[in-house]
Amino acid sequence: DTGVSQNPRHKITKRGQNVTFRCDPISEHNRLYWYRQTLGQGPEFLTYFQNEAQLEKSRLLSDRFSAERPKGSFSTLEIQRTEQGDSAMYLCASSSNMGDTEAFFGQGTRLTVV
C-alpha cells in the first residue's frame, strides 16, 4: 500500500500521560499536514511541513503539542499531559510540491483520553 500510513489506529490513554503518533506520507510527497477532527466536525488544521521545515502552526496547537519531521519523510505528533479535550481523530495528509494539489489523507489515529 503506497498511501499515507498512520500508527497506531487507536490509542486509549489516561489523562496526564504523553502520547506519540506517527505518520508515513506518500514517498514522493514533500508536504505533510496534521489535522484534528472531532465527531460531527470537519478536520481542523494543526500544522504543516514542507520537507523537514515546519512552516505553519495553528493556534489550536498548544504548547503541549509538538510535531516533528526530522528527515523530511515520516512525521511524529506528540501530545504531552493529555487532557480529555484532546480526544479526537488525528489525521495526517501529504501532497506533492507542484503548486496546489490534492492532499491525500491517512486513516487517522483515534485518541481517547480517559
Partner 1 sequence: GESVGLHLPTLSVQEGDNSIINCAYSNSASDYFIWYKQESGKGPQFIIDIRSNMDKRQGQRVTVLLNKTVKHLSLQIAATQPGDSAVYFCAENPSWGKLQFGAGTQVVVTP
Q: Near partner 1 by CB under 8 A, which window of 14-22, 60-68, 71-79, 104-112?
A: 104-112
Q: Say if CB 43 and CB 113 are below 8 A apart.
A: no
111 binds partner 1 (CB under 8 A): no
**Residues facing 41 on adjacent strands:** none
* Residues touching partner 1, count (CB under 8 A): 23
> Quick one: CA dihedral 53, 1, 104, 34, positive or negative?
negative
12 binds partner 1 (CB under 8 A): no
Instruction: Give whichever of 40 and 85 is closer to partner 1, judged by the CB atom.
Output: 40
Q: Say if CB 114 and CB 17 are below 8 A apart.
A: no
Q: Say which residue the cell 479526537 belongs to.
A: 88
Q: Near partner 1 by CB under 8 A, which window of 11-19, 60-68, 70-78, 97-105?
A: 97-105
Q: Which residues bind partner 1 (CB under 8 A)?
A: 4, 31, 33, 40-45, 48, 50, 55-56, 91, 93, 100, 102-108
